[in-house]
Amino acid sequence: MQITKRNIELRVDDSLMRVYVAAPKAAGSYPGIVFYSDIYQLGDAMIRLANYLAGYGYVVAAPEIFHRLEPIGLAIEPNDLGRMRGNDDARRTAIADYDADCRAVIEFLQAESSVSSEKIGTLGFCIGGHLAFRAAFMKEIKAAVCCYPTGIPIGKLGLGVADTIDRVSEITGQMLLVFGTLDPHIGEDDRQTIVKSLENLNVTYKVLLYEAEHTFMRDDGYRYDSAASTSAWMEIVAFLEGVFAN
């Protein structure tokens, strides 16, 4: 379906957070998605992914995750220097600030007239996959899609040590985890740690494994895998439709 695109501003702890919003053009009531980018923020590749999801009937709200440190509208270049910059921004952002941003986006979505306030989910990539996993601690989140989420078992996310792996019991929604088996940043041991934590606490989840590298769904990089990405999107769309069917 056709979509609309706009930018809105939210204030979180007196910091202006730009949020990119892609939504179906047709009037109606749709599920809302808190959409998390990777460390490069909202460059063209991430915007395309947000737009793609919106076209399936979702109001997608994508915050700039480093708004406390970077100028409004900055997309970090996905190269060696950009990776250093993005990782440094991540290290300098307090974990509580990430959580506060999530709460602000959820409240924005619930207040939108085009969003069914009881149908809120989240989706993220890389660090955004970790943030989507944490978003699932919020009672409003019914579905969480975590694409190659980094740092969960060891608490690597921001300033300090993230307690993510210790809070799995707070998840009440359903989880979809997307991994590349050739991803050196999330090896087999880390994948198993995450899966066993979900199993042990009876969280409803599904795991997708692809013979692909890290960031294989980002279409502007050398690790992009179109076949794996297309397959993953088919599964993601089916998962979200199943969760929000009623």
Q: What residues are annotated to the active site? A: 126, 183, 214
Q: Which of 123, 18, 76, 33 is nearest to 220 (CA)?
A: 76
Q: In Å, how far are 112, 191, 246 from 31, measured between CA atoms?
A: 11, 29, 11
Measure CA of the first residue to CA of the last residue in the chain; give whole Å: 21
Q: Give the residue carrying structure tokens 């509580």.
A: 96
Q: Which helix (H) or strand (E) holds 37?
A: none
The dihedrals phi and psi of 120, each to the nearest 5 degrees, come to -120, 130
Q: Which of 214, 136, 220, 223 is nearest to 171 (CA)?
A: 136
Q: At what angle do helices 127-135 and 95-111 cross, to 10 degrees?
A: 60
Q: What are the residue ranges of helices labelled H in the chain?
A: 44-54, 80-92, 95-111, 127-135, 188-200, 226-243
Three-state DSSP class for 39? Answer: coil
